[in-house]
């Protein structure tokens, strides 16, 4: 089959990474793939988007698409991508609400129209909602990256027949050998200033838990310098902009990983931590309910520091054997599903007649 992916631009966001992985996996299976991106832009809202989701970025103008080595066409303008820019194909995939609008006008020869929904893209305020909702209602095959994301959108807009193909993680990058629980116990989380990322919940939970577990250790990493407005717990280890190859060691150094996000389409750190044998204590956002329900951690039903702290204390007081069971289940959950599996699931949706 011939696939064309449409992106606003190439960058180091998680959304671009997902497209790059899918394009690479499809190529491995013998399919023809082309990724089309607009010229690199510097519009303020896109800069905010990159800052919101991007991990530490290597220097230079390249992004995940270019680094993946898949066929890549870069436009000489910011957009829109038109039918004249797109070759004939079997499937054309929009990956952002604007690209879904552009794709809507393509003739049938450009391929079956698919909207890969990677977020409820309302992050920049109510002014975008009318356009976003109109884009989500366009007739096409809709695929969301988590069940929670699909439910959020359909709760707002009504039934849209959204299929779900969950993300995976690189199981070679994220893996760890068997280990015992640390003594004293160590918890970790991702540090970010944006309130939606919930770092403040994790920080407060650690401080509350220390009232009963005084020697609780804390590790965090992130792409932003620690601010006076959001200080880390006393004595916490902080790794600023760690290299991608270092993330496995940071996850594996922890006994529990905290996920406190207030808004997330999936929550890849949950799966990354689990793949490194670290159970997750998480709020029910994104894919957390589905992933944690498989036994690799504890779901905190209320998005509060108090509830997360209670979970930390209870698990720290649990036996080492109980921790080992959680660790084994976390690893099994993450390693039961690869990007190759996700690609086959994607193809399964696309080969069903619309």
Sheet of 297-299, strand order? 237-240, 217-222, 186-190, 256-259, 280-282, 297-299
Domain spans in the chain, listed from the N-terminal domain onward:
2-168+338-350, 186-335
CB environment 315-338: b (16+ within 10 A), e (fewer) = bbeeeeeebbebbebbbebbbebb
Give the phi and the psi of residue 141 in degrees, each rounded to 5: -85, 120
pLDDT digits (tens, 9 = 90+) for 128-187: 899 999 999 999 999 999 998 999 999 999 999 999 999 999 999 999 999 999 999 999
DSSP 174-234: S-----PPPSS-EEEEE--SSGGG-HHHHHHHHHHHHTTSTT-EEEEEESSPPBTTBPPPT
For residue 39, what is the DSSP state? P
* CATH class of the structural domain 2-168+338-350: alpha beta
Q: In angstroms, rounded to a whole number, what is the distance separating the alpha carbons of residues 206 and 8?
A: 39
- Which residue has 């680094």 as its token pair? 67
| Cis preceding linkage at 256, omega within 30 | no
Outline where the chain has alpha helix (H). Answer: 14-28, 44-53, 64-68, 97-104, 129-136, 147-157, 199-210, 247-252, 268-275, 288-292, 305-316, 320-335, 339-350
Q: Are 2-168+338-350 and 186-335 the same fold in CATH?
A: yes
Under the banding of pLDDT at 50, 70 and 90, the label for residue 309 is very high
Q: In angstroms, rounded to a whole number, what is the distance separating the alpha carbons of residues 151 and 143?
A: 12
pLDDT digits (tens, 9 = 90+) for 221-267: 998 999 999 999 999 999 998 888 899 999 999 999 999 998 888 88
Mean pLDDT of the chain: 91
Model confidence at 45: pLDDT above 60: no
Q: What number does CATH give the domain 186-335?
A: 3.40.50.2000
pTM as predicted: 0.83
What is the reported pLDDT for 181? 97
Under the banding of pLDDT at 50, 70 and 90, the label for residue 353 is low
Q: Which has more pLDDT, 49 or 40?
A: 40
Model confidence at 56: pLDDT above 80: no
Express as a percent the part of the chain with pLDDT over 70: 93
> How many CA within 13 A on the CB side of residue 189?
27
């Amino acid at each position: 089959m011939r696939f064309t992916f449409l992106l606003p631009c190439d960058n180091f966001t998680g959304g671009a990474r997902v497209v790059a992985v899918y394009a690479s996996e499809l190529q491995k299976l013998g399919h023809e793939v082309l990724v089309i991106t607009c010229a690199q832009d510097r519009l303020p809202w896109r800069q905010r988007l990159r800052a919101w989701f991007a991990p530490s970025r290597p220097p230079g103008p390249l992004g995940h698409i270019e680094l993946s080595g898949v066929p890549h066409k870069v436009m000489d303008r910011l957009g829109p991508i038109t039918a004249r820019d797109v070759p004939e194909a079997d499937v054309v995939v929009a990956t952002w609400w604007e690209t879904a609008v552009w794709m809507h006008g393509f003739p049938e020869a450009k391929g079956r129209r698919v909207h890969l929904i990677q977020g409820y893209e309302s992050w920049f305020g109510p002014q975008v909602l009318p356009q976003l909702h109109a884009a989500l209602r366009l007739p096409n095959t809709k695929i969301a990256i988590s069940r929670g994301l699909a439910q959020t959108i359909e709760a707002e807009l009504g039934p849209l027949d959204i299929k779900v193909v969950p993300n995976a993680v690189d199981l070679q990058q994220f893996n760890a050998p068997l280990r015992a629980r640390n003594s004293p116990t160590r918890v970790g989380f991702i540090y970010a200033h944006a309130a939606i990322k919930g770092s403040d919940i994790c920080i407060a939970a650690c401080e509350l838990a220390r009232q009963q577990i005084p020697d609780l250790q804390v590790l965090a990493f992130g792409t932003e310098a620690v601010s006076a407005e959001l200080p880390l717990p006393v004595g916490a280890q902080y790794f600023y902009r760690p290299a991608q190859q270092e993330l496995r060691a940071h996850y594996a150094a922890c006994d529990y990983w905290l996920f406190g996000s207030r808004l997330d389409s999936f929550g890849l750190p949950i799966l990354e931590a689990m793949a490194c044998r670290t159970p997750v204590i998480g709020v029910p956002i994104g894919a957390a309910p589905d992933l944690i329900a498989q036994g690799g951690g504890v779901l905190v039903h209320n998005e509060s520091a108090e509830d997360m702290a209670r979970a930390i204390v209870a698990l720290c007081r649990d036996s080492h054997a109980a921790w080992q069971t959680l660790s084994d289940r976390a690893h099994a959950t993450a390693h039961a599903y690869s990007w190759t599996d996700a690609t086959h699931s994607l193809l399964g949706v696309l080969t069903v007649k619309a």
